Chain A
Amino acid sequence: DSGVTQTPKHLITATGQRVTLRCSPRSGDLSVYWYQQSLDQGLQFLIQYYNGEERAKGNILERFSAQQFPDLHSELNLSSLELGDSALYFCASSVAEGSSYNEQFFGPGTRLTVL
């Protein structure tokens, strides 16, 4: 158990819909990262937050957005869903600044299926 929790575990929805994925980082971790993993694209970095502020952006679509709240949990919002958005979405956390390295602790993932 990494200490990172993600809800829900599974999500099935229809094209055009909007969903919210939630992540609670390990106690004490200030950074949260979101990744998308699909069979054709592999593991893709989406976005990183550090202590509530956006820190780095990867291959995140404009239809997707995220935020990190004062209690450090994070939400990833996916809108106007398309079939191709079906994937595993992982959240990871790390201590980031102040730590000597950047080990990330991954949650169990949310499997999104868009029908």
Chain B
Amino acid sequence: AQSVTQLGSHVSVSEGALVLLRCNYSSSVPPYLFWYVQYPNQGLQLLLKYTTGATLVKGINGFEAEFKKSETSFHLTKPSAHMSDAAEYFCAVSEGAGFKTIFGAGTRLFVKA
């Protein structure tokens, strides 16, 4: 069975600092991995995804994530945080098209001026 663990329910960084949000997954087959962002009072929107191929995936708003099979991880990073990045971030795993997607508990990112 699939599962997703996001380490840290809250992360606080200063504006301009590195953002690192951690995600570990469990899957019995090669997974599809996703990061979604939820801004206040909005639905989730896709930041980036990994399906196959290049393990370093670039997404919107300067975010990227690296699929590390040996570590079963898919951590999300951004070199320099911006105030507008303050939101909740969800890591998700799916065993393929047509299969349900399992979401992590979410990590709320705070950005300090």
Contact = CB atoms under 8 A, between A and B. Distances in A.
B60 interface: no
B26 interface: no
B90 interface: yes
B43 A48 contact: no
A9 B102 CA distance: 25
Interface string B34-66: 101000001111100101000000000000000
A78 to B, nearest CB: 19
Nearest to A103: B46
Interface residues of B, number: 22
Given A2-B45, A42-B106, A43-B90, A96 B98 contact: yes
Nearest to B34: A103
B81 to A, nearest CB: 23
17 contacts: A4-B43, A33-B101, A42-B103, A42-B106, A45-B100, A45-B101, A45-B102, A48-B100, A55-B100, A92-B43, A96-B98, A97-B98, A101-B32, A101-B97, A104-B46, A105-B46, A109-B43
Interface of B: 32, 34, 36, 42-46, 49, 51, 90, 94, 96-103, 105-106
Interface of A: 2, 4, 31, 33, 35, 42-43, 45, 48, 50, 55-56, 58, 90, 92, 95-109
